[in-house]
Amino acid sequence: MFRIYKIIILCLVLLLKTSSLCLAEDITNFNILIEDGKNLDSTMVTVDGEAIGDIMQRGNASWLNVSDGSNAIGVWDETGILNTVTVLGNYHEKGDLVKVQGEFHRACSEHGGDMDIHLKNLCILEKGYTLSQPLDSLKLRFLGLLSLVTFFVLGIYYKSKKVRTFF
């Protein structure tokens, strides 16, 4: 009987110990920032998304856009933390997945009224990678066929018009 109590107490202690470690931070959705910006203005928010575009240097500070797939928001950094982001998203690469913590501004007076987040902390959740986009063989064959038809039609046109070319 005493052994069962020991096991139950041990399970409760482990449960209480790990529950504090498993608390997730409240991630704010970009749509919520846009729609409820008035209420969230000048509050600390946590967002996650893909680092896209370029890191733009502005004196000692820098600027980066973070996208959640449907919206993007600018992140302003005066600490140099943004330099840890290595892969930026574009048509050929999937950017680093980052978690940004900072002060949200609906209409930042420092940056011409833009909606932005002033960075306090940044964590790279997943490294970016190069996207592979294989060629579609059907599209490649269609391209070859259209090229042949185009050259054939141009040949007929030049023969019928007797146009002089310099080639």
Does any domain span residue 122?
yes
Cβ burial of 114 (10 Å; 0-12, 13-18, 19+) is middle
Number of structural domains found in the chain: 2
Residue 159 has pLDDT above 60, yes or no: yes
> Up-side HSE of residue 71: CA atoms within 13 Å toward CB?
14
Q: Which of 87, 85, 66 is nearest to 75 (CA)?
A: 66
**Across residues 50-73, what is the average pLDDT?**
93
| pLDDT for the residue 24 | 42
Same domain, 40 and 102: yes
How would residue 22 be classed by pLDDT, with cut points 50, 70 and 90?
Answer: very low
Cβ contacts of 155 within 8 Å, gap of 6 or more = none
Cβ contacts of 64 within 8 Å, gap of 6 or more = 51, 53, 54, 55, 56, 74, 75, 77, 82, 85, 88
Q: Provide, rounded to the nearest whole percent, the portion of the chain with pLDDT above 90.
A: 54
More confident site: 17 or 127: 127
Cα separation of 116 and 73, whole Å? 6
| pLDDT for the residue 23 | 40
Q: Give, rounded to a whole angstrom, the gap between the first and last alpha carbons of the chain.
A: 100
What mean pLDDT value characterizes the chain? Answer: 85
Q: DSSP strand E in the chain: where?
A: 44-58, 61-67, 72-77, 93-94, 97-105, 116-126, 129-130
Same domain, 78 and 48: yes
| pLDDT for the residue 21 | 40
Q: What is the pTM of this model?
A: 0.66
State the DSSP code for 42: T
| pLDDT for the residue 163 | 55
**Across residues 40-68, what is the average pLDDT?**
93
CATH code where residue 62 lies:
2.40.50.140
Domain ranges, residue 50: 25-130
